[in-house]
Amino acid sequence: MTTGRIKKVAGPLVVATGLPAAQMYELVRVGELGLVGEIIEMRGSEASIQVYEETQGLAPGQPVEPTGQPLSVELGPGLLASVYDGMQRPLAALRDAAGAFLSRGLSSPGLSREALWDFKPSVGVGAWVNAGSIIGTVREHEVFEHRIMVPPGLSGTIASITGGWHHVDDVVATLQSRDGSVHELTLLQRWPVRTARPYRERKLATEPLITGTRVIDSFFPLLKGGVACIPGPFGAGKTVTQHQIAKWANAQVVIFIGCGERGNEMTDVLREFPELTDPATGRPLLQRTVLIANTSNMPVAAREASVYTGITIAEYFRDMGYEVVLQADSTSRWAEAMREISGRLEEMPGEEGYPAYLGSRLAAFYERAGVVQCLSTEYPDPSTREAAARAAALKTPGADAYCDCRTGSVSVVGSVSPPGGDLSEPVVQNTLRVVKVFWALQDTLAFQRHFPAIDWIGSYSLYLDRLEPWWAEHVAGDYRQLRDRAAGILAREQELTEIVRLVGMDALSPAEQASMDCARMIREDFLQQNAFRDDDQFSSLTKQACLLRLILDFHDRILAALDAGAELADFDGLAVRDALARAKYLADDDSTAFSDLAAAIAAAVPLNETDGAHTPPIDARTETAQVGEGV
């Protein structure tokens, strides 16, 4: 290939000449040190290159070597429990090679070439396979089954396959296509990060991503395969919320991208994740996690690479049939990198200096989330399909020629760090046009020691209607109604708070004062959660339904008593109030304790037998604005 020469250096942007055959997004080596860069603009034989390493010392006239390949990642056994930089260079390997202070121009493969993996074939010679078909498995970290798949674009018959211990670049199988060509299959694949991995069909997401955090699961839920935005000013508890999602979410793989975050915050992540215990396996959470560390003192161009690297790795595990949750912290730093590169390219600036394509770049990233039917084994012709179906029914040879219709999902939670907590700035607003869940962290709640500091008025989820049938089948038939009533009471509290500020609490009717008290109980005894208490850091959906039902039943009984002539002060000193406040610390499976508490509430505030079940008045029901439905 023709070697180019540097013409101009402007921070992370390098302009090179003499590259007439270069292509957009081609990977190049810049300067005498061979710094990694990517072509982002072509003007004739001149190429504008964003360099992913510090450009200090580069000078006009130094060489630029094209590689002929786009920026790609290596996908295979060894990804889990790894810590990479934005270009998928393992930081541990770079540290061993250069010490604590990394030198420029270093390179290391994303997957170790020394590690050996026990490959167990799942197909035999003569089996027909398509792109995405699983040809064998590797046991990774004892608890995770890594599925070795046929790379996209290939199909044919297995000509040979060898089990046993292999390096990732060893040939474990050969595949003969219909045209007679033979392809060698290894344990690893390479895939360009800017290209979404293919799938057979996109599915409608209907199952919730359960995090164990009550304000998320009940009020603003996220679906598996959904996308969420979590903007948070400094000190609002964004990192702790992310740790909770990573630890407790019902997903098999976690991808955490530290994109432009402060070095001390990323250090905390690298220290804490290995210490977290996976509740599903009892082993370190890191064994099903991939960490991508790209701190704010690293070159800004590498932030874009880190985001695409993370989503590509997530898609790879999705293609195996796993459920993946990806957390990008934060997309604001990525947008700042786009703004800097765009300015050096002298492009027309948009709002607040961000490039005009900010919204489309964010949308393209979030659109790679979703639930999909993976590429998998498919019968080459209808007669083979029928023969395989008969063989499977009779359990005879040929039954292994099945159609593997597995599904996988990628759920994306993109953190946003707006300057000064301003939710009207462009990154937040462009993100909100794409995502369907908005968890608005408020520093005022954090200063009041209310965690998670998710604002129950400003946040929303557009997945509620889609989740209602799942809730009714797997949790409780009235779960959606309980959630809506609680949200309505909180919305009513906000309206009444303004009245109280003007004329005082005495201006409210007893029923309105009872609604204010119920809203306080929902905030303090349900929404508030302690991530550092073993008995409160996770709540199952069944427990959340029980807590809401108890609080609302207590409220309904007080309203019924007030209608019958009781005074609100009669219920202030009830011992059952303290028991209700401690109910969130009960064990998830302690149904007896919840039943006993319900009985205690009924005994403390009995209903008038002649009245029967009480219907709450309008001011305590859901005729108020529905919080969290995006209305």
- pLDDT given for residue 487 in this prediction: 96
Closest CA to 362 of 337, 334, 329, 341: 334
**Contact assessment for residue 128 and residue 379, using Cβ atoms and an 8 Å cutoff:** yes
Residue 61's nearest CA partner among 1, 106, 22, 3 is 3
Neighbouring residues of 182: CB distance < 8 A, sequence distance ≥ 6:
159, 174, 175, 176
Sequence-distant (≥ 6) Cβ neighbours of residue 450 within 8 angstroms = 523, 527, 528
Task: Return phi, psi of residue 72, to 5°.
Answer: -130, 165
DSSP string, 447-508: HTT-SS-B-TTT-EES-HHHHHHHHHHHT-TTHHHHHHHHHHHHHHHHHHHHHHHHH-GGGS
Evaluate the omega torsion of the peptide bond into residue 330 and state whether it is cis, within 30 degrees of 0: yes
Q: Reply yes or no: is the peptide bond before residue 221 cis, omega within 30 of 0.
A: no
**Closest of 577, 484, 589 to residue 541, by C-alpha:** 589
CA-wise closest residue to 301 among 328, 333, 266 = 333
pLDDT value, residue 392: 52
Q: Is 71 exposed, middle or buried (0-12, 13-18, 19+ CB in 10 A)?
A: buried
Give CA separation, 55 vs 84, 201, 309, in Å. Answer: 21, 43, 22
* pLDDT at residue number 454: 95
pLDDT tens for 520-566 read 999 999 999 998 888 999 999 999 999 999 999 999 999 999 999 89
How many angstroms separate the CA atoms of 593 and 273, rounded? Answer: 34
**Cβ 148 vs Cβ 320: under 8 Å:** no
Q: What are the DSSP E strand ranges found in 25-116? A: 26-30, 35-43, 46-51, 63-70, 72-75, 83-84
* Spatial contact of 188 and 76, defined as CB atoms under 8 Å apart: yes
What is the DSSP pairing of strand 227-231 with strand 437-438? parallel
Residue type, 490: L
CB atoms near residue 520 (< 10 Å): 13
Structural domains in the chain, CATH included, are: 4-70 (2.40.30.20), 117-187 (2.40.50.100), 201-458 (3.40.50.300), 475-620 (1.10.1140.10)
Q: Are 332 and 427 in contact (CB under 8 A)?
A: yes
Q: What is the DSSP letter of 218?
A: I
CA distance 88 to 188: 14
* Closest to 201 measured CA to CA, from 375, 48, 67: 375
Q: What is the CA radius of gyration of the chain?
A: 28
User: Which residue matches tokens 């290596």?
Assistant: 74
**pLDDT digit string (tens) for 267-286?**
877 787 777 778 777 888 88
The residue ranges of the chain whose pLDDT is under 70 are 1, 377-404, 608-631
Q: ∠ CA(589), CA(527), CA(451), 5° rounding?
A: 110
* Crossing angle (nearest 10°) for helices 263-272 and 238-248: 30
User: How far is 66 from 36, CA to CA, in rounded Å?
Assistant: 10
Phi/psi region, residue 302 (left: phi>0; alpha: psi -120 to 50; beta: rest), is alpha
Token couple for 136: 């064998």
**The one-letter amino acid at 269:** V
Cα 177 from Cα 334, distance rounded (Å): 42
Fill in the amino acid letter for 454.
I
Residues 299 and 481: their CA atoms lie apart, in Å, by: 50
**Tokens representing residue 178 in the block:** 């219909």
Q: Which pair of tokens denotes residue 116?
A: 């050996």
Q: Are 619 and 512 in contact (CB under 8 A)?
A: yes
Dist CA 458 CA 442 (whole Å)? 9
Q: How far apart are CA 430 and CA 311, in angstroms?
A: 19
Tell me the DSSP string of 5-42. Answer: EEEEEETTEEEEES-TT--TTEEEEETTTTEEEEEEEE
Q: How far apart are the first and last CA of the chain?
A: 57
Q: What does pTM read for this prediction?
A: 0.90
The two structure tokens encoding residue 478: 């009235």
- The residues, ordered by sequence, that sit 6+ positions from 463 with a Cβ below 8 Å of its Cβ are 205, 208, 221, 222, 223, 226, 436, 437
pLDDT at position 103 is: 81
C-alpha angle 23-26-28 in degrees, rounded to nearest 5: 120
Three-state secondary structure call for residue 269: helix
Question: In this predicted structure, what is the pLDDT of residue 314?
Answer: 98
Helices (H) and strands (E) in the chain, counts: 16, 26
Give the tokens for residue 276.
């977290």
- Token pair recorded at residue 210: 């359960």
Q: Which residues pair with 42 in a beta bridge?
A: 47
Residues 31 and 16: beta-carbon distance below 8 Å: no
The strand pairing partners of 228, in sequence order, are: 413, 437
